[in-house]
Amino acid sequence: MAQRHPLHSICPYFAMFPEEFAERNILAYSSVGDVVYDPFSGRGTTVFQSLLMGRKAAGTDINPVAACISGAKADAPSLLQVLRRITELEGQIPENRPPSPTPFFDHCFHEKTLGQILYLREALDWRANRIDRFIAAMMLGALHGESHRSKLCLSNRMPRTISTKPEYSIRWWTERGLEPPERNAFEVLRELAKFRLKIGKPDLTGKVVLADARDGADVHKGLRRSVKLIVTSPPYLDVTDYGEDQWLRLWFLGGGSAPQAKLYADDRHTGQDLYWRFLAEVWAGIAPLAAENATIVIRIGGALERDVITENLTKSLEVGFKKYTVSLLGDVQTTSLRKRQTNAFRPGTKAGVEHDYTFALSKTISSKSSSRAIAVETA
């Protein structure tokens, strides 16, 4: 693989797959100019790597953190535009600082730093302005992390990939006598922008929409029947809750000032039947985007046995892509998850495994589809 582009790591994200995985499959199953799609865009690895490789790319994500990060990478501004906007924002910051939302924020951030964060939270129009979205994405990456190791982290010591809960964080910091560092958010943003954009950006731009994966064909109507390759990793069953684990970043983007469980209605925590039904609905929602003879690459994991995942994942695809024959290509590749950074903050987290599947779609109706269908309503 060529030199890693600095934009890949604009914000570390829990349960992300490496760009090597995306690159390998993009190279194997698409050509320059093809459309690549990811209904669970996460930190935007599939979309961004596709653009780097001369493919058109698009995606969705229901999580604002993911949509902000992947959207910023898919349509990045120039370094000059970003630096000008940072200077403009810095010159407009009011003298009076808003009050802290909760005591957690006083433990997490230095008083001056918190004032800047609160201002940027209100000033950045990340949903509508691509330059503001890029700055917001950089802020999400700097908002929390191991600040004793990096001067580009704004918080008291925390993991980089998840936001630990307020009560636990305060207790953890207090027991260790840890105080938040004084950091200038604007200077941090300048340094990050210079690094992230030091080798420029892709010639092509993509589009990532803040939306439910099941609505993919509705929010990307211009891509109907044109997606040649789907590379994605659905949320894993019973592994993590992004609404809780990303709560501080969600707060910065306009959310509540405390973790909120089950924030997104994707059913992944409520049982196997609903989980597989959810995935079938996703495939049905994006089926109108698929070109004939498209390929689907899926990385999936969790606590279930591989044979159970294989059977149910295949069934969900057959139901969702009901006008196609769905064929599993090659062997299922299984790998162990690497040790998680969260072990230092939440000891005992399970390593687990991930499984990589490749499916081919062909434009014929399978005679097996009705006998293998699972109980799910599709459009």
Distance separating alpha carbons of residues 277 and 234, to the nearest angstrom: 13
Per residue in 166-225, pLDDT tens? Answer: 999 999 999 999 999 999 999 999 999 999 999 999 999 999 999 999 999 999 999 999
- Using CA atoms, how far apart are residues 310 and 249, in angstroms rounded to an integer? 34
- Tens of pLDDT along 70-116? 999 999 999 999 999 999 999 999 999 899 999 999 999 999 999 99
Confidence bin at 271 (pLDDT 50/70/90): confident
Name the residue among 52, 53, 71 with its Cα closest to residue 61. Answer: 71
Give the start-to-end residue ranges of the domains of the chain: 6-69+206-246+266-372, 79-196
> Is 371's pLDDT higher than 50?
no
pLDDT at 344 over 70: no
> Which of 44, 49, 1, 41 is CA-nearest to residue 22?
49
- Which are the contacts of 200, defined by CB distance < 8 A and separation ≥ 6? none
Q: Per-residue pLDDT averaged across 49-77, rounded?
A: 97
What is residue 224's predicted lDDT score, i.e. its pLDDT? 97
- Binned at pLDDT 50, 70 and 90, residue 239 comes out as low
Model confidence at 45, in pLDDT bands (50, 70, 90)?
A: very high
- State the pLDDT confidence band at 304, using cuts at 50, 70 and 90: confident
pLDDT band at 346 (very low <50, low <70, confident <90, very high): very low
pLDDT at residue number 256: 94
The pTM for the full model equals 0.90
For 26, 233, 353, the CA distances from 35, given in Å and listed in that order, are 10, 18, 29
Q: What number of CA atoms fall less than 13 Å from residue 318's CA on the CB side?
A: 20
Helix (H) or strand (E) holding 19: helix 19-29
Per DSSP, 232 falls in state: E
Chain centre to alpha carbon of residue 320: 23
| Average pLDDT taken over every residue of the chain | 90
- pLDDT cut 70: percent of the chain above it: 87
Q: Which residues pair with 298 in a beta bridge?
A: 232, 357
Exposed, middle or buried, 203 (CB in 10 Å: 0-12/13-18/19+)?
A: exposed
Confidence of residue 243 (pLDDT cuts 50, 70, 90): confident
Domain 6-69+206-246+266-372 maps to which CATH number in 3.40.50.2300, 3.30.830.10, 3.40.50.150, 3.30.70.100? 3.40.50.150
Residue 220's Cβ-count burial label (10 Å; 0-12, 13-18, 19+) is buried
Any idea which of 89-93, 143-147, 366-370 has the lowest mean pLDDT?
366-370
Counting beta carbons within 10 angstroms of the beta carbon of residue 331, is it exposed (0 to 12), middle (13 to 18) or buried (19 or more)?
exposed
